[in-house]
Every structure is written in structure tokens, then in C-alpha cells.
């Protein structure tokens, strides 16, 4: 991210104005509860900016802002609004018969998803412009893939910790920087003619997309949500292989070659391997080890389904109307067209 994003309301404006200065007590207005916190532009951007201080930071912002008490107090209020909306929108799934049935319980959460499939649409119908929009949406998370879930590492022990380490090792390229999944995604963006710099498209992304990333940061930064973070990761890995195969197929349909599809092809293979580890060893292992977290594990998976479903509906409804799914459309002519893409 080269510059700070543009504010989208009173709260994000106050936060961004403060962050541009040296560290000082933040006097921001008390956040009001928006009509739809799960997609509200001001709330979700404000949270995103607060959370980014715990990742790579924000351009021109002093590192000391990360732990400024007044900013943390405001973030706490924003999180309370976000959590209350999540709790109201996402009911807790029924518990499994036992820890050994966590695999089936997670699949039941996935099967309850009634959102339309963006991956199927991309495979069969998406235009080049729509494909580029999809990649821009996904860049908010994929350029830091695995990082939010890695916050679970110091909060787990024994078999669940071994399981998540096995998954995350693959995400980080097994020691090869060129194979880090975030790097493979950046390579795909570059091949598609998009800006692969971290955070380049934040201003373009609607609140519904930012919410999917903020969810992971919320769960990751709070130890009390470690079970939900595990459930989120487990279902993420379990349900990733087929959509990524469809995305790769859509890219090939539009004429793009191996450098553009490598990220998606990698996930078809890697996530098929991760599926059992995530469901049985990670989620099931944590439920066996700490049964009180079973409900949180399933709820974390359900929040993934709910927020991804909201973002998918917003995207597909815009495309069906012939409109951009982004808050700010990509510049005309942006991206490598099929004729200029490798065969």
C-alpha cells in the first residue's frame, strides 16, 4: 500500500486523519451502529485500517500507533458492533455427536450454504473485466494469505498445533519464497496486468469484501476466538479445492496461461491434501482436546459461509446488472486481455 485509503465516513475519516500525524490520544466520535454493520463502508474500512497496523502497517503511519490505547479503545467499540452483527446474523450450528464427527458437522455447515457460486460463474461465463474484478476482490486476503490464521499458532498446543503447522507450512511455500501462496497470487495479478502491490485496491473494495478479511483478523487477534479461527480455517481448506479448479478453468477459457493459473492450480492440489488434516486433526483435534470450544469451531466455519455468501451475492448481482462489483471500477483497459495473454 503506497498511500492511505480514502475515508468513507466520519469514523474512518477521524482514524485516517489521526494516523497521518504523530502518535497522540485519539479523540474520535463514538461510532453509531450502522444499518448493516457487515457491509457498512465506514465501519469496515475503519476496522481494516486498525487491523493493518498488526500486519505490514500503513504508509507514513508510525509503528507506535499499533498499541496506542485510545485507538485500541475505538477499535474495541468497532469490534463490538461487528461482533454483535455477526452473532445476530449467524446462528450457532448444532453440535456434532462427538469430536470424531467434526468432519461431518463442518460439511453440514458448508452444505447449508445457499449463496450462488462465483467460481461456477467464472468457469462458464465471466468476461475478462469480471475476472479482473474477482482477482482485485480476492487480493485483500490472498496477498497476505495464511497470516490471520497463523495467530492461532501460539494459542494451540499438541496435535492441533502440529496440524495447523503442517497446513501453514504449505501456505508459506515449504521454505521456497517463490512458492509462498501470497507470492503465487501476486504473480497471477502481474500476469493479468493488475497492480500486485499489497493493498493497491483497498479503495476499490466494497465493505462486504473488507468484512471477509476483517473477520479473520477479528478472530485471529483475540485468543477467546481461537476455536472460531480454527473452524474458519478448517472449512476454508475443506471447501477450497473445487472452486479453485473452476477459477483455473475460467482463466484457461479466457486464454490465460500457466503463470496466471499457477496459484489456483496449487490450491487444487494443496487443499485436497489439507482437507483431512483441517477437519480431523485440526478442528477435530481441538474439539477432543478442548470440548468447550466445539461450538465456537462450528460458528467460526458458519461465519465464513455467511460473509463469503454476502460478498458473492453482491458481486454476482452487480455483474447481472451489467455493473462493476467494485466500489470504484478498475480503470478502462486495465489488465492483459486474452489476445495478449499467453496461450
Using CA atoms, how far residue 250 sits from 16, 243, 254, in Å, is 38, 10, 6
> What confidence tier does 27 reach under pLDDT thresholds 50, 70, 90?
confident
**pLDDT exceeds 90 at position 83:** yes
Q: DSSP of 123-178, one letter per residue?
A: HHT--HHHHHHHHHHHHHHHTTTTHHHHTTGGG--SHHHHHHHHHHHHHTGGG-GG
| Architecture (CATH level 2) of domain 99-320 | Up-down Bundle (1.20)
Distances in Å between the alpha carbon of 226 and those of 1, 192, 208? Answer: 29, 36, 23
Question: For residue 337, is pLDDT > 80?
Answer: no
Contact (Cβ atoms closer than 8 angstroms) between residue 192 and residue 247: no
Between CA 45 and CA 43 the distance in angstroms is: 6
Confidence (pTM): 0.95
Is residue 340 scored above 60 in pLDDT? no
- pLDDT, tens digit, 9 for 90 and up, residues 160-209: 999 999 999 999 999 999 999 999 999 999 999 999 999 999 999 999 99
342 pLDDT band, cuts 50/70/90, is very low
Task: Report d(CA 219, CA 306) in Å as an integer.
Answer: 15
Amino acid at each position: 500500500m503506497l498511500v492511505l485509503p480514502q475515508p468513507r465516513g466520519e469514523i474512518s475519516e477521524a482514524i485516517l486523519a489521526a494516523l497521518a500525524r504523530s502518535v497522540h490520544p485519539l479523540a474520535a466520535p463514538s461510532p453509531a451502529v450502522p444499518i448493516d454493520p457487515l457491509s457498512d463502508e465506514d465501519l469496515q474500512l475503519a476496522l481494516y485500517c486498525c487491523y493493518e497496523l498488526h500486519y505490514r502497517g500503513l504508509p507514513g503511519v508510525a509503528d507506535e500507533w499499533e498499541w496506542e490505547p485510545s485507538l485500541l479503545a475505538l477499535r474495541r467499540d468497532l469490534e463490538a458492533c461487528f461482533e454483535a452483527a455477526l452473532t445476530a446474523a449467524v446462528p450457532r450450528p448444532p453440535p456434532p455427536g462427538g469430536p470424531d464427527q467434526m468432519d461431518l458437522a463442518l460439511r453440514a455447515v458448508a452444505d447449508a450454504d445457499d449463496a450462488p457460486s462465483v467460481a461456477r460463474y467464472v468457469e462458464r461465463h465471466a468476461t475478462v473485466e469480471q475476472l479482473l474484478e474477482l482477482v482485485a476482490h480476492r487480493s485483500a486476503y490472498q496477498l497476505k494469505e495464511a497470516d490471520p490464521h497463523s495467530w492461532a499458532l501460539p494459542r494451540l498446543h499438541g496435535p492441533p498445533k502440529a496440524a495447523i503447522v503442517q497446513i501453514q507450512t504449505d501456505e508459506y511455500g515449504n521454505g521456497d519464497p517463490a512458492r509462498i501462496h501470497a507470492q503465487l497470487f501476486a504473480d497471477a495479478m502481474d500476469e493479468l496486468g493488475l497492480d500486485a502491490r499489497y493493498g493497491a485496491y483497498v479503495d476499490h473494495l466494497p465493505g462486504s469484501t473488507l468484512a471477509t478479511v476483517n473477520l479473520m483478523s477479528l478472530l485471529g487477534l483475540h485468543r477467546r476466538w481461537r476455536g472460531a479461527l480454527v473452524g474458519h480455517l478448517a472449512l476454508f481448506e475443506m471447501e477450497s479445492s473445487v472452486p479453485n479448479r473452476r477459477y483455473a478453468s475460467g482463466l484457461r477459457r479466457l486464454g490465460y496461461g500457466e503463470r496466471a493459473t499457477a496459484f489456483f492450480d496449487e490450491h487444487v492440489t494443496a487443499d485436497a491434501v489439507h482437507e483431512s488434516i483441517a477437519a480431523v486433526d485440526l478442528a477435530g483435534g481441538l474439539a477432543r482436546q478442548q470440548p468447550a470450544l466445539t461450538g465456537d469451531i462450528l460458528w467460526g466455519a458458519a461465519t465464513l459461509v455467511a460473509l463469503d455468501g454476502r460478498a458473492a451475492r453482491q458481486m454476482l448481482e452487480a455483474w447481472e446488472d451489467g455493473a462493476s462489483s467494485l466500489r470504484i471500477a478498475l480503470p478502462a483497459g486495465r489488465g492483459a486481455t486474452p489476445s495478449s495473454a499467453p496461450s
